[in-house]
With several copies, the nearest count.
Chain A
Amino acid sequence: MTAKAAAMGAGAAAAIRVHDLNYTYPDGTAALEHVSFEIEKGESVALVGPNGAGKSTLLLHLNGILHSKTSRGAVEILGEPINPKKVHKMPKKIGIVFQDPDDMLFMPLLADDVAFGPINLGIEKDEVKRQVKDSLLRVGLAGYETRVSHHLSGGEKKRAAIATVLSMDPEIIAMDEPTANLDPKSREELIEILRTLKDEGKTLIIITHDVNAIPELADRVIVLEKTVIADGTTREVFADSDMLVAAGLDVPTIMQFFEVLQAFGYPCDVLPLSIDGAVKNLTETIENGSGHLHLHIHKHTHTEVGAVRGKYQHHRTAANCPK
């Protein structure tokens, strides 16, 4: 447990406070056990974990869609415990973007889908129209109002799904694998959209398997595997690679590579997480080394490289794997 709940102010109302949340599906699958964490306003948090870890299940608890007797009072949003009877009042506080956009685009027209939330919130028509236009613009779909959802491409559907939540202007936005199935360009555009939201001060929770995107998106990472097995800043969590690998996860490619570089004599304490971080790290290291940097092969380089690489080769240790 590398959990770190220290950084959180206990005074002001947290954006999200989950305390000892448990959930078992009716068929007996225990999906969540003793989950506790807090997220401050304005934080942007990545929620990671292997397939079946309960990430999506947790998301559905954040606005009370899923709930059980044992979950009463376990989730507080903006200081108020969730009332499962008032789920329809939640969208002002927290908006959820589901993984499959086809589940979110249920109206015949895209504009209707984007207007769905605001209308339910009782906002008046002209204002709704403005918000529809604005939300579509923000996800790069300006002018798509009268498009039919089933004719959109995969990437467009993803962005449309986000627009349907943006239009309600919630304080917290939670997303389930927003970058899955996107081509690299659409993925980057989506990351940019999320970054804009972050800069605007929204509280973000992003479920993702895409570890290379995390450093760009999140200040903090929570690792879930039925329960919270790690919680800390992005750097802290990624530093504990043993725990991550044990949970079937990975650290960003660049970080793995800098571990290799260390074996070649690269002096660094804090491994960079992304290419941009790496550039900074390189520059600093070289400048500290008075303009130069030496890499070399010493006696243990190859054993060290072997050890570092072996760490991330899940399949070598996986019991149920062929060969």
Chain B
Amino acid sequence: MISEIDRYAGISSPIHRWDPRFRLISIFALIFSVMLLYNLQLVMIGMIFAIILTCISKIPLSFVLSRMKLVFIFVIPFFIIIPFTVIGDGVEIASFGGITLSYRGIEYVKFAAMIVLKALTAVMLIFPMVGTSRMDITIKALEGLHMPNKLVQMFAFTYRYIFVLDDEFTRMDRSLTSRGFKRQGNLYTLTTISKAIAMLFVNSYERADRVFYAMRSKGYSGTVATLHEFHTRWQDWVNTAVVVGFAVLLQVAATSDTFSAARGFL
């Protein structure tokens, strides 16, 4: 059930070889930079850069697109609704039950397009950011970036037990099905599933105890360290300079007059 973003962590590409700590920070900065933009052309440039990064990472496009499909469903309503529904004057097209459809013109189409493009860019950049090394390495990189140790531990353990508990729920769900249960849109289904989830919580609470005992008996006293070591090479700095440089450039461009900010329309 849990699809793994790090399915293609094993292949080799310049992005894969990039020190995960630098990679996380750089692409994170890039995402921030694009999200701060309010100019359609610049957002498109950002998007193109994201596509290039994804291509360099050699993660199959089909995999990326299958994920983006989901996001598309989330943000596409903005694209459809905004150009038509903004209150105020415009060409009224239709109205039902208090909601007036009025066409406000091309500027709003552009604005909506910008929102959708930004969201897609962010999602696309997640692939080169965390899809190019195994999740456990990514979590270790968070530690390398001096995220508090408790939080890093929470990421590591949570990530591990997601799979265990997911299996547990899958088995429970199968046992329900094999006893004639069928999910429907009614109260019985809701309470039954609620009870199954409640059982999952009770079981995981008890498992939490056992895991803690196991950790204690292996000498756990609050912090976790691993053997993994990150090695920084000059190439990492170059990659970082390119990506962060691009992120800064976008911001510089945004302040110049050439790219007018679209925010004024709101």
A contacts B: CB pair < 8 Å = yes
Chain A residues proximal to chain B, CB less than 8 Å: 60, 63, 65-66, 87-91, 95-96, 98, 100, 102-109, 111-112, 115-117, 119-121, 125, 128-129, 132, 148-150, 164-165, 168
Say yes or no: A91 contacts B218, CB within 8 Å. yes
Say yes or no: B219 contacts A100, CB within 8 Å. no
Choose from A90, A105, A119 the contact partner of B226 (Cβ within 8 Å).
A119
Query: Number of B residues whose C-beta is below 8 Å from A?
Result: 47
Say yes or no: B217 contacts A90, CB within 8 Å. yes
A-B contact count (CB 8 A): 153
Going nearest first, the 5 A-B pairs with the smallest beta carbon separation are A108-B136, A120-B219, A120-B180, A117-B179, A106-B199
Distance in Å from the Cβ of B211 to the closest Cβ of chain A? 5
Q: Is B55 an interface residue (CB 8 A)?
A: no
Say yes or no: B227 contacts A88, CB within 8 Å. no
A28–B187 Cα distance when bound, in Å, is 36
Per DSSP, chain B at the interface is helix
Say yes or no: B160 contacts A107, CB within 8 Å. yes
Q: Which chain B residue shows the least CB distance to A113?
A: B218
Distance in Å from the Cβ of A141 to the closest Cβ of chain B? 17
A66–B177 Cα distance when bound, in Å, is 11
Say yes or no: A108 contacts B218, CB within 8 Å. no
Say yes or no: B227 contacts A117, CB within 8 Å. no
Chain B residues proximal to chain A, CB less than 8 Å: 134-136, 139, 156-157, 159-161, 163-164, 167-168, 171-172, 174-182, 195-196, 198-199, 202-203, 207, 210-211, 213-221, 224-228
Q: List, in ascending order, chain A residues with CB within 8 A of B224's CB.
A: 107, 116
Choose from A65, A95, A108 the contact partner of B213 (Cβ within 8 Å).
A65
A105–B181 Cα distance when bound, in Å, is 14
Say yes or no: B174 contacts A65, CB within 8 Å. yes
Say yes or no: B216 contacts A65, CB within 8 Å. yes
Q: Which chain A residue shows the least CB distance to B218?
A: A117
Say yes or no: A106 contacts B180, CB within 8 Å. no
**Residue from A63, A90, A102 with most neighbouring chain B CB atoms (10 Å):** A102
Distance in Å from the Cβ of B116 to the closest Cβ of chain A? 30
Q: List, in ascending order, chain A residues with CB within 8 A of B182's CB.
A: 87-88, 120
Distance in Å from the Cβ of B224 to the closest Cβ of chain A? 7
Say yes or no: B171 contacts A119, CB within 8 Å. no
Q: List, in ascending order, chain A residues with CB within 8 A of B203's CB.
A: 102
Distance in Å from the Cβ of B209 to the closest Cβ of chain A? 9
30 contacts between A and B (CB under 8 A): A60-B213, A63-B178, A65-B177, A87-B182, A90-B217, A90-B219, A91-B178, A91-B180, A95-B179, A96-B178, A98-B174, A98-B214, A100-B171, A100-B210, A102-B199, A103-B171, A103-B210, A103-B213, A103-B214, A104-B175, A104-B218, A106-B176, A106-B196, A106-B198, A106-B214, A107-B136, A107-B156, A108-B159, A120-B181, A129-B227
Say yes or no: B218 contacts A164, CB within 8 Å. yes
Q: Which chain B residue shows the least CB distance to A151?
A: B163
Say yes or no: A112 contacts B136, CB within 8 Å. yes
Known contacts A104-B214, A125-B227, then 15 further A-B pairs from the complex at CB < 8 Å, ordered by chain A residue? A65-B177, A66-B213, A87-B178, A91-B218, A96-B217, A98-B174, A103-B175, A106-B199, A107-B156, A108-B156, A108-B195, A112-B136, A112-B227, A116-B220, A120-B179
